[in-house]
Chains A and B, each alone.
Chain A
Amino acid sequence: MPTKVEKDSITGQETTGHEWDGIKELNSPLPKWWLYVLYATIVFSVIYYVLYPSIPGITGYTKGLIGGSAREALVEKLAKAKERQSATLTQIAALEPAGIAESPELLNFSLAGGRSAFADNCAPCHGLGGAGRPGGFPSLADDAWIWGGTLEDIETSIRYGIRNDNDDSRISDMPAFGADELLEPAQIADLAEYLLAFTDRAEDQDAVARGEEPYLENCAACHGEQGEGLPELGAPRLNDQIWLYGGEREDIIAQIDKPKQGVMPGWEARLDETTIKMLTVYVHTLGGGQ
């Protein structure tokens, strides 16, 4: 603070006393209304303190005459939104997934609801957009369906899950042909060659010929004579380009030797009826629905 008030010689106004490179700043007074605006904000804050929750205490806070809580407002808003949706949700609950897909409004609603439910519940394993993940989490966007890709099949898979404790769960159990010594390692190698031949990748035609017999005896019942698979038993196609656990020779041998078999929870107990139906419709549109 300058002790002596200095006056500018030209304007006669006081200066602030500070000097920068020979330039001094005039100490012009602020307009009064500026001060009044400050007073107005103080008056506003007092009124606010009285009307609304404001001063925090140790165990609580002052509630104010009007009160109000952002948390409660959110709950109210959510309740209102649910109420607005309730008519549509009832309609969806009453229909089969195939019926939902027929009405454009219900379909749109279900796709939106299904997308959010999918992101919450399914995406951790199956990936956003049903992209799938390496290590046994199948893509839901392609045209290969281990347990079937119709609306009904998808709904059953979601509702009861796969290889879990649910009584209605989808169950299938491929024997561990190598680990349980049902087949010799040489036979398994021949079998792998035989499977590679389905997609024209076999290198040893003799091995392919040797593999035919064990295939027809042990595998064809579930996977089909041409490797066409059987969705009812969850036996995947072997004559296409999609391999859940890898399509190289080692991968195939490992899978015959001691198969990995994925598990999916049943969502019947965790999600409500309408959510399951919306999810079904959503998954069906990801790109592979049959």
Chain B
Amino acid sequence: MAEAATQQQPAAPSHSSSPEAETVLSREEQKQQPLYTGRVQVYPKSISGRVRRVKWLLLGLCLGVYYLAPWIRWDRGPGAPDQAILIDMPDRRAYFFWIEIWPQEVYYLTGILILGALALFLATSIGGRVWCGFTCPQTVWTDLYMWVERLIEGDRGARIRLDKAPPSGGKVAKKSLKHLAWLLIAFVTGGAWIMYYKDAPTLVSEFFVGESSLTVYFFTGLFTLTTYLLAGFAREQVCTYMCPWPRFQAALLDEDSLVVTYRGWRGEPRGPHRKGQTWEGRGDCIDCKLCVAVCPTGIDIRDGLQLECIGCGLCVDACDTVMDRVGRPRGLIAFDTDRNRIACSAGGEPQQPKLFRLRTILYLVLIGAIGLFMLGLLTFRSDLEVNVLHDRNPLFVTLSDGSIRNGYTIKILNKDRAERLFTLGVEGLEGASVAVIGAEEGSGEGTGEAPRLGAKPDTVASYRAFVLLPSGTLSGKLKAFSFVLTDEASGATARHDSVFRGP
């Protein structure tokens, strides 16, 4: 693959003002047209600048949250895990600080996914692929891996030379060190993933003495391997070939979205420039190709917005550096709108980008509405639910005195961390009496009191209930009514509609 990067057209005319000595070609320029194409190795050059600083900041933030969040503790009282963020698979519970979610409430996850999707749409319609360029895990980890690579093997030029150099002790040492460092990062990443599913301190203490379960080792290994492969080797191919997001981003962009733009109207005609030469009658682009050299996906942004561009803006930093050096204004490559590109190409004036337009307002309204709805659901989430299943066989039973009896399965979801006692009653069924198998002593049948049902902390209690209607009370085949469950201590109620059937 190293040859691919260097086998190329006649060397560009020499130009002393260009910071790049070697010829730089975009991946597109290097491509042949065979049936299958090998990957053209990309050697991104390091660059500093405003965008890079933002990227470092976000990288630190994202990785910090990812690695450290499982270690945050949250006291939930005895018998409950004290990890703030935990998806407890064996016990079928998910914890997020003060929120505890049961599997039945997985719609919260749906809500989060919808909000996430809308936020992504909003960010894309405002700033293009900012998600891809700044916060996507693939980008963040690839960035981290490239940084490690640069520390060990040096910058672009040194890496190209190292790859071209014949095998030697130094080369093997550098390469081994790099892969070792990558594997270590991959392992920490894979291990941290598992911590979201298992108590972190326990996991760490068990992991290294071989006491964790096979599942833990398997998934740690799996995520170690995928991190290593995706961030170390697959890199931009994930974005170009695997990820669906670039494929439909075009539908989310409009002419007012800020995307990485080469301002061709200012830059063309491009060409090398010597110090002291006039800028009259030529563009600002000195064709140094630094923007191509720094691109993590190896494209030439001057060809316009393209599928491979992840919108990271490193070419913006690169070009600004060069413009400063040659004494031209910054912003030859910048986050700009398509509307401005079209206007300026035609000789018009650029305008301020319109942040608030129908598209973004619509996304904002949707995010607000769904967010409020979810917040409402969460705020009024009851720690008590009751589910009722009417018997299918038999639908009803006629007793010897002619009265009709229906059987039900009552499931009480006690989401509280305390044992609770409930009374079960019916509403909307005149003359009915309720008997429950397993009701507390001194209640229910024959005592003249409503049946009292206990439910252990944080569990589902299941009971069989019989509802009896005296002979001749039921008119028709069917009557709708409700079961009402009342917490004896707090008075909280939960109800569930059901039906009573007769002949």
Q: Is A141 an interface residue (CB 8 A)?
A: yes
Do A32 and B393 contact each other (CB < 8 Å), given the known contacts A241-B399, A242-B398?
no
Scoring B241, B394, B407, B466 by chain A CB atoms within 10 A of each residue's CB, the highest score goes to B394
CA A14 to CA B37, docked complex, whole Å: 14
CA A138 to CA B464, docked complex, whole Å: 22
Do A30 and B397 contact each other (CB < 8 Å), given the known contacts A129-B391, A129-B392?
no
By beta carbon, the residue of chain A nearest B403 is A241
Q: Which of A29, A128, A242 contacts B35 (CB 8 A)?
A: A29
Q: Is the CB of B398 within 8 A of A127?
A: no
Across-interface contacts of B399 in A (CB, < 8 A): 142-144, 241-242
A195 CB to nearest B CB, Å: 15
B65 CB to nearest A CB, Å: 31
Q: Is A240 an interface residue (CB 8 A)?
A: yes
Q: Is the CB of A129 within 8 A of B394?
A: yes
Q: Which of B33, B234, B392, B394 contacts A14 (CB 8 A)?
A: B33
Across-interface contacts of B401 in A (CB, < 8 A): 240-241
Q: Is A44 an interface residue (CB 8 A)?
A: no
By beta carbon, the residue of chain A nearest B28 is A11
Q: Is A31 an interface residue (CB 8 A)?
A: yes
Q: Is the interface of A mostly helix, strand, loop or mixed?
A: loop
By beta carbon, the residue of chain B nearest A35 is B36
By beta carbon, the residue of chain B nearest A28 is B37
Across-interface contacts of B398 in A (CB, < 8 A): 142, 241-242
Q: Is the CB of A240 within 8 A of B400?
A: yes
Interface residues of B in 460-494 (CB under 8 A from A): 464, 466, 471
Band of interface residues on A: 20 to 34
Across-interface contacts of B394 in A (CB, < 8 A): 127, 129-132, 139, 141
Q: Is B405 an interface residue (CB 8 A)?
A: yes
Do A287 and B400 contact each other (CB < 8 Å), given the known contacts A33-B39, A129-B392?
no
Q: Is B19 an interface residue (CB 8 A)?
A: no
CA A139 to CA B400, docked complex, whole Å: 11
Q: Is A285 an interface residue (CB 8 A)?
A: yes
Across-interface contacts of B407 in A (CB, < 8 A): 129, 141, 287
CA A35 to CA B37, docked complex, whole Å: 10
Q: Is the CB of B36 within 8 A of A31?
A: yes
By beta carbon, the residue of chain B nearest A12 is B33
Across-interface contacts of B34 in A (CB, < 8 A): 29
CA A35 to CA B34, docked complex, whole Å: 13
B366 CB to nearest A CB, Å: 33
Q: Is A34 an interface residue (CB 8 A)?
A: yes
Across-interface contacts of A62 in B (CB, < 8 A): none
Q: Is the CB of B393 within 8 A of A128?
A: yes
Across-interface contacts of A285 in B (CB, < 8 A): 437, 464
Q: Is B402 an interface residue (CB 8 A)?
A: yes
Interface residues of B in 383-421 (CB under 8 A from A): 391-395, 397-402, 405, 407
| Extra contacts besides A29-B36, A142-B398, A288-B397 (8): CB < 8 Å | A32-B36, A33-B39, A127-B393, A130-B394, A142-B397, A237-B400, A285-B437, A285-B464
Interface residues of A (CB under 8 A from B): 13-14, 29-35, 127-132, 139, 141-144, 237, 240-242, 285, 287-288
Interface residues of B (CB under 8 A from A): 33-39, 234, 237, 241, 391-395, 397-402, 405, 407, 437, 464, 466, 471
List 10 A-B pairs, Cβ < 8 Å. A30-B37, A31-B241, A32-B38, A34-B36, A128-B392, A131-B395, A131-B397, A141-B397, A240-B400, A241-B401
Interface pairs A-B: 6 shortest CB-CB: A131-B394, A129-B393, A240-B400, A241-B402, A128-B393, A29-B37
